[in-house]
Amino acid sequence: MFHSKSAKLAVINQDQAELSDCQALAKELAIPLYLSTDKNNNEDFFLSYQDGCLKLLDKHSLIKNALMVNIEPRSGEQHSYPAPRKNNLAKALGRKTKTVIDATTGWGQDALFIFRMGYQIQCFERSPIMAVLLKDAFLRLSHLKWVQELALNLPQLTHGNAIELLTQLKIAPDCIYLDPMFPPKRKKSALAKKPMQVLHKLLGQDDDKEQLFITAMTATAKRVVVKSPDYAEPLGGKPNESFKGKLLRYDVYFKH
């Protein structure tokens, strides 16, 4: 069930061929279903199937600028599989790491990159709206020719609170990856990209990220990696290692 104090959501069916999917989605999230777009609706965001995938639209741009979980490599990332592990994220995850849990999956771009580098990854996402968008993305991923030909193990998605899910693990992963939301550096700073703006609107701040870190350190077998903006204080105190880029860094904490 979808619930947010600051945003309202509905499903829009723009193609009768997808009506049953829209009905199932509206029932799953316990939100209204509309058969056409109407800017007089009270909702802030809408889910709609367009161009073969599930997209998130806002009230002010019902057609343009729809958001989806992109399963293609980002600019600068390798298209080969497995992608080379020469970047800062791979260095932070560790050469001997095989299994990773992304406990804050969000739009899934880091999780998909980790998957394309050949790691076995499990994804946790507590937002029901992001969970259905990720579910749709992983389904599209499973249909890609190269994924099928290589018979790859797809990312596994679990909807729920990561703090609770991590305490229930039966097998500890080699690495737990955290990418919590941090407040902007200053009020006059440039606006975040639209996907992050939407995520903040839907979820607010990650007020429990300190507790999530503590839980992750208990649940991991070897290490916890925290992705942070360059200005933020390390979430878990001084890290054992840190790999810095121009705007962000990966802090690594070893489990002793």
Domain count within the chain: 2
Mean pLDDT computed over 4-20? 77
Answer whether residue 61 shows pLDDT above 80: no
* Residue that wins the pLDDT comparison between 102 and 64: 102
Question: What pLDDT score was predicted for residue 207?
Answer: 81
**Domain identity same for 46 and 94:** no
With beta carbons less than 8 A apart as the criterion, state whether 143 and 152 touch: no
Instruction: Let me know how many helices (H) and strands (E) the chain has, helices first.
Output: 8, 11
Q: Is residue 64 situated within a structural domain? A: no
Question: What pLDDT score was predicted for residue 4?
Answer: 54
Question: What pLDDT score was predicted for residue 190?
Answer: 47
Answer whether residue 188 shows pLDDT above 50: no
The CA distance from 46 to 8, in Å, is 9
Answer whether residue 141 shows pLDDT above 50: yes
Task: Kindly report the CATH number assigned to the domain that includes residue 150.
Answer: 3.40.50.150
* Residue that wins the pLDDT comparison between 82 and 1: 82
Q: Is residue 192 situated within a structural domain? A: yes
**Domain identity same for 146 and 244:** yes
Confidence of residue 79 (pLDDT cuts 50, 70, 90): confident
Q: 18, 36, 58 — which closes off a domain?
A: 58
Answer whether residue 156 shows pLDDT above 90: yes
Mean pLDDT computed over 67-82? 87
**Domain identity same for 47 and 114:** no
Q: Is residue 159 situated within a structural domain? A: yes
Mean pLDDT computed over 207-216? 94
Q: Is residue 185 situated within a structural domain? A: yes
* Residue that wins the pLDDT comparison between 46 and 7: 46
**Domain identity same for 30 and 147:** no
Q: Is residue 42 situated within a structural domain? A: yes
Question: What pLDDT score was predicted for residue 226?
Answer: 98
Q: Is residue 34 situated within a structural domain? A: yes
Mean pLDDT computed over 58-70? 76
Provide the β-strand partners of residue 102. Answer: 123, 177
Confidence of residue 43 (pLDDT cuts 50, 70, 90): confident
Provide the β-strand partners of residue 225. Answer: 177, 252
Question: What pLDDT score was predicted for residue 191?
Answer: 46
Q: Note the pTM of the prediction, 2 decimals.
A: 0.90
In the chain, the amino acid numbered 142 is: S
**Domain identity same for 185 and 238:** yes
Mean pLDDT computed over 192-217? 79
**Domain identity same for 54 and 95:** no
**Domain identity same for 35 and 100:** no
Residue 160, number of CB atoms within 10 A of its CB = 13
Domain of residue 172: give its range.
88-254
Mean pLDDT computed over 214-239? 96
Answer whether residue 112 shows pLDDT above 50: yes
**Domain identity same for 160 and 102:** yes
Q: What percent of the chain has pLDDT over 70?
A: 86
With beta carbons less than 8 A apart as the criterion, state whether 82 and 121 touch: no
**Domain identity same for 123 and 190:** yes
**Domain identity same for 51 and 98:** no
Q: Is residue 225 situated within a structural domain? A: yes
Question: What pLDDT score was predicted for residue 74?
Answer: 84
**Domain identity same for 38 and 134:** no
Query: 31-40, 94-103, 237-246 — which is least confidently predicted?
Result: 31-40
The CA distance from 53 to 63, in Å, is 14
**Domain identity same for 109 and 220:** yes
Answer whether residue 202 shows pLDDT above 90: no
With beta carbons less than 8 A apart as the criterion, state whether 209 and 234 touch: no
* Residue that wins the pLDDT comparison between 52 and 139: 139
Mean predicted lDDT score pLDDT of the chain: 88
Q: Is residue 68 situated within a structural domain? A: no
